[in-house]
Every structure is written in structure tokens, then in C-alpha cells.
A and B are shown apart, each in its own frame.
Chain A
Amino acid sequence: MTFRSMEELFEQGEALKGVRILDITRIILGPWASTLLAELGAEVVHVEIPGAGDLLIRAVGPQGQFPRNISPGMMCASANKYYLAVDLHKPEGLDLIKRLAASSDIIMENFKPGTFDKWGIGYRQLRELNAGIVYLSMQGFGNWGSLATRPSYDAYAQGITGLAEITGFPDAMGVKSSAWIGDFLSGTVAAFYTMAALYHRKRTGKGQFIDLSQAEVLLRCMDWTWLYGFLKKKRRERFGNRDMAVVPSCIVRVEDGFVALAGFSEAEFEGLCLAMNRPDLLVYKPIEQRLVEAETIYEAIETWARTRKTGEIRELGERHGFAVAQVMNVKDLHQSPHFNQRHSIWKFDDPLWGDLCYPMALHLADTPGRIRWSMRPVGFDNEYVLRKMVGCSAAEVAALYENGVVGRWNEQMAFTKPPVGWDGQQGLLFRE
């Protein structure tokens, strides 16, 4: 099989070329939704406040580390966007937002319910300026309902939905994913609904208001939890690394690490029994039996695997037709020929920061997703946005700076700034 080079990928078209998104979102949930669309070619203006910018995410780095002045927290939900810093507490700042909104296709925000409405830049006001606007509001619990005024964090969303209580081992404690999955998964489905609204607009010219709840996304993705609880009046327990609805599908300890294996069809299960040299387990070939006797089957697999190596189990899986994968850590992924061949591990030279690496899963053959650049300093693209998109004159831009309506980074905060030794030009997209 031949693989496409980066150059060949860039020769392909961009799906959302010409779609403009005004992204006034914070932390991860909103920024990730717009990043996905930016990876597909949309032109995204990411708005922060001058100075500190989105401090709640820019200041996030493991043990306070910000390599090259990059914020790891912000970087992972930022790609291909234009960075504008506007003071939304100034009327001229709100005017600027309205001017951008007038020529945008999509607006995204995740401020508390009603904040933008109060500021005069909510859906009710912006649709008067632009009837086709798709307005996406992302909240912890939505824009209405009895929990709507509660603040939400990813970890709280994982907690209140019960997701953390069904993850982990019964004899330890519930665990949340260390990934901000409540933000990332919700941002992904938010991008889906936005595209559905854009599709409708193409047919009718009508925009709309979308109210997305982060907690409800996690609730939606908890498979059989609710129906089981409702019908059986029983708690869903934690089952560690065993899938109780797909038997067997599990993660087991092996001599040299951890391996996932699964084989649910009768043929796959038979292959696994042969591989384990346990013909006696074939009495569990009927699936209904296996679901009831899951404990016995998992114990047999775990005991068998414990004294074997990853390679051996993979070979047996290849020979006998049950699926196997090593539990990969990030180093394994970074070096994996498979993911590198596919550009799912996307290594590139950023115009500002040098060599970087992103994951990439948007493999659309004719309009593939791509990364052009990473996060950027606060207000780094002010000139590009104001001059090229809004059409301000040089004098107007100067006045906006003068009055503190727009601004740049804070020299005292590394994670808001360009890299050390920046020459004042590198990476700028519009130079006066």
C-alpha cells in the first residue's frame, strides 16, 4: 500500500473553505469544536481578552511546564485559528464582534447562559444582523432546566453523570478519565450538530440557535446504564477491565505489559479457546451462556494471559481470528509505524514554534483534515483579522490599540507570548 505524502495531502481540497467561524469560547469544549472545523478548512477567528488571554487554559501545563512558551493545555484544542484579542467590556469591542458576526457563518460561545444576550451579542440580537447565522452555545447543563445555572467543569460532568462511578475496579474507587473527555467528546458532537445546521442553511437560508449540554453528551454515551437501571432497579457496578456486555472484550496483564483482546462471535470465541488450549471452555460458545458466565470466562483468560508475552498473544490472535492490541502509551504511539504511515500522528513544522506533533483522525479521502499551525500568542493575528476580514484602515487599527479595545499578550506571562528570541515578524500572517 502506498501512502500519501504531506504535500499530496495538501493538494487535496478543503471541505469547509470559505466557512467563517467567530469563536468566542474558553478552555476546551468550545475551542475543540471550532478546531475540528478549522482542521477541515474553516476560517476560525478565536477571540480572547487582551493580556492574559484565556488564562484558565493558557496557564495549564503539567507541573507548570510551558515548553517554548507553548501552553500544553491550550495547544491540544487549538489548530489553524486566527488569534484576536478584544476587550468585550468596551462598547467598541462589542461593535467589533458585531462586525465580525455580520460576515460569519457560525458563532460559538460557552459563557454562562444569557451572558451574550445581556451584552447585546446573543442569538436574538445577532440574527437581526445576519439571518443565516448558526449560533452554538455550549454549556455544562444547557441554557435552561433546573441545573442550568450550575457552573460545570469536565471533572464535575464526569462525576455528576455517574461516568466516573462506572469506571475502575469494584474494590478500589471510581475513576475519571484524566483526559477532559466531557469537553473533548462534547466538542466533537457539537461540531457534528453545527454541520447539520449548516447543511440545513444551505437549503433554506435559515440559521438557528443550538443549545448543547456537556453533561448530557456524557449521559448519552453511557450505553446501557440507564435502561438497565430502569428495568432491573439495580446499580451498574464497576467492572475494571472487563466489558460485561461483550464477552470477552477485556484488557489483561501479560508478562511484559497489558493487552486488549476481544472475540464476541462464536467463531472468534472458538478461536480464542483453541489459542488458549481450553477446549473445555467451548461449552460457553453460545453467546447467551457467555454473558451469564462472564466471570468464569474472564478469569480463565486473565490466568492464561498472565504468563504470556504481548507478541505471543498477538500472533495467536492473528492465527485464530480474535482481535488484539497492545495497551499503547504515548511513546508507543509517537513511534508507531502504523499511525505515522497514516499521518494520524501528524508531525509538522509550525511557522512560529518549530517542529510539533498532533493526533489526526479526520481521514476524508478527497478533503482530508490537516494541521497548518498550532495555538498562537494572545492577539497574534489582530492585524490579519482587522485589516483583512473586518476591513479596518491602518489608522482605525491604531485607534483600537490606543483605546485598549484590542491588545496583545502579557510580557510577564510566558504562555501568552511568542517564543523567546522572537524577531517581531516570524509567523505573522499580515505584516504592515
Chain B
Amino acid sequence: MDWMTWARENTDPDQASWKPEALSDVLVLDCSTGSFAGLYASSLLAEMGARVIRIEPPEGDLARKMTPFGEFIQGTGLPYLIEGRNKEHITLDRGQSQGATILKALAKKADVFIETSPPGWMEAHGLGYAALSELNPRLVYVALNTFGQSGELSDTAKKASWHCYDTVAQALSGFVSTTGIPESMTAFPEHTRVPTRMGNWMGWYAGGAFAGLSVMTALYVRDLTGRGQFIDISPAEALMCLNNYALHFYHMTGQVIERPGNIEPAAHPYCYVRCKDGMLFLAGYADPNWKALCSIIDRMDLVDAYPTVKDRTDPQKAIEIIAEIEKFTLQQTREELVALWLAYKGPGVTVAGEILKPEETIELEHWYERRALVKITEAPWGELLIQGTPVKMSETPPRIKWVCRKVGADNEYVYLDLLGYSSNKLAQLKGQGVV
């Protein structure tokens, strides 16, 4: 059997329900508040089969309200619908002492505890790692906050009760300072030539991914030692780790990597250029490949003007080169340009690829074949299109079992199952505003 057929047959997401789940013996409590870093971390675990109990305050978590232009379905925002996957949703006011007591009872049974409160908040309510690990030494406890759980900024965040926000993490990480259009590209309006945040919640996702990895690592260690541990993840630091060589290089040379627009400072052209109907990715940076690129746009004069890699990666010259290439590309569409590059048969290798707008990306069949995007119809939300999982696995494939649940939808089952609460007791707690 050829490789691709084998790979497809053995990792087909539609066959997932015939296979076991890697984390089916793991119970996770996700107490995150208004942070998709926590929610993404628990999604990773839930997709791999962990039982994730999502604990919200009685009125629902702030994260349910985070949604563009006020788009809600039945009171829940779009991002939360996506990140509610496979989780059982219960409510609990952990700020009340009775709520805190109940949370401790749940933590006694749990393997993993996720929280994103301001530093010190959990301790102040008797729910910090020290308290919970005394009840349950096997607990893996991950605290996610932009400023971390120690250090002078953390002390400030503790005093000022600063929550875990994506934009703040992006700024603090150094990532924003290396993203965006540089001052020197004067063709663009002044207010657009500034340090720029990533359009998505990159800080939160980075933090969530580091938290997921750290939790899995701690669970692995726990199998050997019998003990859980405390994990301190700062989404800002996670994103800092993903910012190429900026820090390493500064330490060695004292040079600060500045935001380069769509240019790669270490290889040029390896960049985006503008064309008639959008942008195009272009690569042709080694000398023979640069020649190939120049020959396609019929500008062999540029080969002489910028003959070496050193010439081309000079920041000022790099911008000049873009301007020269764009004289050509701005006259044509992405489709025409890609066809032109594919038709090139001369020496050297140069690559062109179209930059898509989201409404174009969403049309690509590939994502649907691989269930990277999935359509699910589920009450009470209706028909939705959400992201699937970016990985296919042969033995324990990740999967999406349900999209999301309403606030408190699983109260009855979870409280009965884990703590033996009768419906009378639950009604009483509800009356007191605890659940």
C-alpha cells in the first residue's frame, strides 16, 4: 500500500470513535476566568480524552462574553462555543466560603487543576496550590497569568488584581515589537507603521500550548513519583520563547531586532509582496534563486544592483527591492503570478504562493478532508463551523464529541457523580447562590 493511503486509513478522524483515548483516566478542573489561555489548555486535554469539568461562576464566565461585534448565540459568544468542546459545564461561586469548600472537595478527586486568576487570588481564598496539594498530593496545578506567579511584575499584578489578557501578553513578550510595518516604509500611513499585535489571540494560544505540554509532562512524572506539582506558566513568556533568535542575538551582539514588515531579515527575498488583488509569498534568496526571480519579472538589472545575500538583507536595500518587485507584481493578480512562477523552467529555484483572505481559506477542501474544520449541528446552537484538531493519530486520535454546553448544563450530573449531591441539596445551593 502506498504511504499516503496507509497514513490516511490509519489516522482517519472519522474512525476515531473505534479507538481508545489517551487521557481517559485523567480528570481536569478548569477554573479559568476570562482567559482563552486556560480554555485552550483544557481543550487540548479534552480532545485527547480527559474528562474536563469547566467551572464557571453562576452567571457564566466572562470568556462567554468575549465575541466580535456582540455576536452571541443564546448568550454565548463565538470563541467560547469553539473552546467549550468536550467539557462538562458546571457553576460554582468559589468566592463564597461554601463555594471554596465545594471546590476543594472536587480538587480532591482531580488530577489536573487549571486557573488563570490574578496572582495571589487563589491563595487568598484558601485555594492555592499549598492548600489543594495538602488535600491531594497527586494534583497537578497549573497557574496561568500574563505576569507569572513570582517576580516584581507579578507582585504588582497581585496588588492591582490584573487578569490574564492576550494583548497584554503579546506586548510584554516582545512579540509586538518585532511585528508590523517599519517606520521606513513611508508609503504606508504613519499610524500603521507601529508595533503591531497579532490579529488572533497568539499570546493566549502560546500560553495554553505551554500549559498543555507542562501538564502532560507533570502527569508523566507523576506516574514515576506519585506526586503532582505546581506549574507557573506566563503566556507572555511562552510567546517570548516563540520569537526566533531576538533575545539570543541581542545578548551576543547588542543588536535589537526591529519589526521588518513582511521581510525576513536573514534571507531576502523571502517575503510577501503586494499584487493587484492581495499579496503573494515569494522566495528566491540564494544567488542562483535570486537570478531566477529577476528573470521571471524581467529585471536582470536587479541582479547587478543587489548581487549578494549581504546586499539584499541590508534593511534599507531590502525595502528598495520590495518596491522594485512590486512594480511588476502590482500589475497582476495572485493567480496570474503563481502561474508565471510555475511555468519557469530556467536555472535556480524560486517559489510563489498566494496569501489568502479568510473567506478564501475557508473554501479550501483540504481542511474539510482532514477535519481541520468541521461542521457540527448541535442543540441549542444550531449549525456551526469550528476548528477540528491539527493532528491525526493512529492509536489514540483526538476527537470532538460535543461543541459546548450552556452555563451549568452539567450541574446535576457532575455534582451527583463526584460529590453525591441530591437534587434537593443542589436546589439549596442554588438558592444560596453558590451554584
List 20 extra interface pairs beyond A16-B217, A229-B358, CB under 8 A: A62-B245, A73-B244, A73-B245, A76-B245, A114-B2, A159-B281, A174-B355, A188-B242, A189-B213, A200-B396, A246-B167, A260-B165, A291-B69, A323-B165, A337-B151, A359-B237, A359-B241, A361-B240, A364-B218, A364-B231
B408: interface (CB < 8 Å):
no
Shortest CB-to-CB span from A236 to chain B, Å, is 5
28 A–B contacts, CB within 8 A, in A order: A16-B217, A64-B310, A67-B253, A72-B266, A141-B366, A143-B3, A160-B361, A168-B192, A177-B175, A184-B242, A189-B212, A189-B213, A197-B395, A211-B393, A220-B388, A222-B200, A224-B78, A226-B387, A227-B385, A235-B358, A261-B168, A264-B165, A338-B154, A360-B237, A361-B241, A363-B148, A364-B218, A367-B221
**What string of 1s and 0s marks CB contacts (under 8 Å) between B256-277 and chain A?**
1101111111110011101000
Q: If the complex has contacts A223-B36, A229-B358, A327-B195, are A155 and B176 also in contact, measured as CB distance less than 8 A?
A: no
- Min distance, Cβ A328 to any Cβ of chain B, angstroms: 5
Given A228-B78, A325-B171, A329-B174, answer yes or no on A164-B7 (Cβ-Cβ < 8 Å): no
- Kindly state the interface size class of chain A when it binds its partner: 35 or more
**A238 part of interface (Cβ distance < 8 Å):** yes
Q: What per-residue 1/0 map shows which CB atoms of B283-303 lie under 8 Å from chain A?
A: 100000000000000000000
> In the complex, A65 Cα to B361 Cα: how many Å?
37
Q: Which of A46-54, A201-209, A420-428 contacts B (4 or more CB under 8 A)?
A: A201-209
Interface size class of B (residues with CB under 8 A): 35 or more
For A15, the chain B residues whose CB sits under 8 A away are 217-218, 220-221
In the complex, whether A345 has a CB less than 8 A from a CB of chain B is yes
A407 at the interface (CB under 8 A from B): no
- A363 to B232 Cα, complex, angstroms: 5
Q: A166-B199, A175-B181, A253-B194 are in contact. Are A287 and B251 (CB under 8 A)?
A: no
| Complex Cα gap A168–B185 (Å) | 14
CB contact under 8 A between A67 and B252, given known A151-B351, A324-B168, A361-B233? yes
Q: Does B109 contact A (CB under 8 A)?
A: no
Check B148–A344 contact: CB distance below 8 A: yes
Q: Is there an interface contact between A177 and B198, defined as CB atoms closer than 8 Å?
A: yes
B108 at the interface (CB under 8 A from A): no
Q: Which residues on the B side are within 8 Å of A399 (C-beta)? A: none
Which residues of chain A have C-beta atoms less than 8 A from B93's C-beta? none
Residues A195 and B152 in contact, CB atoms below 8 Å apart: no
Contact residues in B for A264 (Cβ distance below 8 Å)? 34, 62, 65-66, 163, 165
Is the C-beta of B10 less than 8 angstroms from some C-beta in chain A?
yes
Q: Is B345 an interface position by the 8 A CB rule?
A: no
Q: Are A287 and B65 in contact (CB under 8 A)?
A: yes
Q: Among the listed B150, B191, B209, B384, which residue makes an inter-chain contact with A192, where contact means beta carbons less than 8 Å apart? A: B209
Which stretch in B98-106, B367-375, B412-420, B427-435 binds the other chain? B367-375
CA distance A141 to B195 in the complex (A): 30
